[in-house]
Amino acid sequence: MDNKALQDRIGKLIDALAQGLYERKDTMRLCLLAALCGESVFMLGPPGIAKSLLARRLICAFSDSRAFEYLMTRFSTPEEVFGPLSIQALKDEGRYLRLTEGYLPDAEVVFLDEIWKAGPAILNTLLTVINERRFRNGEKEIRVPMRLLVTASNELPEEQSGLEALYDRMLIRLWLDRIQDKQNFRAMLTSRQDPAQDPVPATLKIDDNDYLAWQQGLTQVSLSDNLFEQLFLLRERLAELNAQSDDTHRQSLYVSDRRWKKALRLLQASAFFNGRHHIVPLDLLLLKDCLWHDLHAREQIRQQLADFAKRQAYAQDRLQFALQQQQQELMQLQEAMVQELGCQLESVQNPLLKRTTWQLDFKANGMDPRQPHYRLLFLAPCQLDPQQPERLTRYAALSRRDLLQWLRKGGRVPVRLHQDTSSIELLLDVDSRQQLMVRDTANRPVPVAFARPGGVPEWLRQRWLAAIEEREEALVELRRDITTQRQLFTSHCPHLFLAADWLVMIEESLLQLVQKDDALVAMLAEAREALDNLLQYAGGGPR
């Protein structure tokens, strides 16, 4: 069976197993994954939320399989779980032999409810069964065909109760609650589907040959160096958080090396049944249901993996940093243009008027003080025409008389926008560095410069053109990198064992990068527009 066909088959099997189980499909995905790689599941939640039904459904995934289900009490005996003693063997041969047919040692899928109520004799034997898939019956050991152990309780094991070793072997840990959605609750109440009915077509059921072949195949799935580093960073971060925990939650974030080893096999199985030969970032997110000890730790680990999903899974942090660098360099380029050509003013305190007036050094700003009109250049694209707000304004003609009057009184000045014969009034202002600027129709500051007879010097023109071209090349490469990561993410979807909200979280984080990249492209286009405007209109008088 090829990779795509295997992925399709497992996907259809999940859909079939989840029929009629409202708000339990994500739980079913993970339980099936545990069954497919021979791991154990612990379900935590109040009574009456379909924990036993989930376990019964999983037996339907396999052909000719046997199930064993038992509700533990503190009075439960090993005979009720592992089979009664054979009186005949004890009487005739003096052998201590159990009749295991129909009991746990004979079953492929096992469900043990209220697991922590079992006594030490049951739990100690269960440890050996889980670890080695072997059961000692008399003087012989028999192979246990168990593919999945599902345990459940409405409480966690008590500390210092001696149950830590068994709890540690339950790799997948799931929190289940009541049905939340109103319509799902209604559908559950009115459903006439027989929960005991087998919903899985025979063509989807897993036979022994399939199962054994898949166990060999999933061990060949590789873990890349990059993902190992991410895994190791998560391990270190959890250890750090655990060390910082208060006494109430002390050791709740401790994860044994055994659990990490078992978790890797689960990640390999996830990749394998998704049709891949290597583990990908989406597989790592399944650790959210493998590493927690209690509900406090569950939230902590989910937060850590949510951060990984949004920031590292598809190089979002690296790309975000690169975008920030590009933004800073663009802002520095625009700032350099303003510094080189911006109109610098000097403040003058007027004691008679009791306010600040402004003084313009015409020579320092490359202006002829005797010229009757000046061309005012805008160093950023702006909209200044109230009659045509979408129109970009490139420059305006300002008379010497109106300029001198503004220097004394401030406020608005009449100007003629380029290619216009009629005049409008502009609000001139001064920024914190005492450089002249204009307020556009949205009251945003727009730096300005006055045209100079010689225009922009050639050396400065070439430097700015080279800087903009360099930024353009960098943004093209950055956009290509973002596109590559989005395509990589898309190639890893859909994911059979991961809930949709985690995929949406990653898609949104990548979309934010695209939006920021678009904003930078627009920002660069504005810088190019401003430079073109300068090169075209910086020399000569008003037009």
The dihedral of CA 365, 368, 369, 373: what is its sign?
negative
Residue 19: half-sphere exposure toward Cβ, Cα within 13 Å: 17
* Residue 4: CB atoms within 10 Å: 9
Contact 101, 123 (CB under 8 A): no
The number of angstroms, rounded, from the C-alpha of 91 to the middle of its chain's C-alpha atoms is: 64
Q: Check residue 227 and give its pLDDT.
A: 95
Contact 83, 99 (CB under 8 A): yes
Q: Check residue 1 and give its pLDDT.
A: 60
Contact 242, 254 (CB under 8 A): yes
The number of angstroms, rounded, from the C-alpha of 422 to the middle of its chain's C-alpha atoms is: 55
Residue 263 amino acid letter? A
In this structure, the strands spanning 40-44 and 172-175 are parallel
Residue with tokens 């009057």: 405
CATH class of 219-313: mainly alpha
CA-CA distance, 518 to 513, in Å (whole number)?
A: 9
User: pLDDT (tens digit, 9 = 90+) per residue, 501-539?
Assistant: 999 999 999 999 999 999 999 888 888 887 877 777 766
SS3 91: helix
Q: Check residue 534 and give its pLDDT.
A: 77
User: pLDDT (tens digit, 9 = 90+) per residue, 61-70?
Assistant: 999 888 999 9
CA-CA distance, 378 to 447, in Å (whole number)?
A: 6
Q: Quick one: DSSP state of residue 279?
A: -
Please name the residue ranges forming H helices in 23-118: 25-37, 51-58, 78-82, 87-92
Q: Check residue 510 and give its pLDDT.
A: 97
Q: Check residue 475 and give its pLDDT.
A: 93
Q: Check residue 380 and give its pLDDT.
A: 79
Helix, strand, coil fractions of the chain, as percent rounded to 5? 50, 15, 35
The number of angstroms, rounded, from the C-alpha of 382 to the middle of its chain's C-alpha atoms is: 37
CA-CA distance, 541 to 477, in Å (whole number)?
A: 41
What topology is assigned to 342-450 in CATH? Lipocalin (2.40.128)
Report the DSSP beta bridge partners of residue 284.
Answer: none
Ordered per-residue pLDDT tens for the chain, 543 residues: 678 899 999 999 999 999 988 889 999 999 999 999 999 999 999 888 888 888 888 999 999 888 999 999 999 999 999 999 888 877 777 677 888 899 999 999 999 999 999 988 898 899 889 988 999 888 888 999 999 999 999 999 887 777 888 999 999 999 998 888 899 888 888 888 777 788 899 999 999 999 999 999 999 999 999 999 999 999 999 999 888 877 665 667 889 999 999 999 999 999 999 999 999 999 999 999 999 999 999 999 999 999 999 999 999 999 999 999 999 998 888 888 888 888 889 988 766 656 778 899 888 888 888 889 988 888 877 777 777 777 777 788 999 999 999 988 888 999 988 767 678 888 999 988 899 999 887 888 888 888 887 777 788 888 888 989 999 999 999 999 999 999 999 999 999 999 999 999 999 999 999 999 999 998 888 888 878 777 777 665 444
Q: Check residue 191 and give its pLDDT.
A: 83
Please name the residue ranges forming H helices in 347-412: 400-409
CA-CA distance, 229 to 222, in Å (whole number)?
A: 14
CATH 3.20.20.70 fits 1-209, yes or no: no
Q: What residue segments make up the domains of the chain, in order of their start?
A: 1-209, 219-313, 342-450
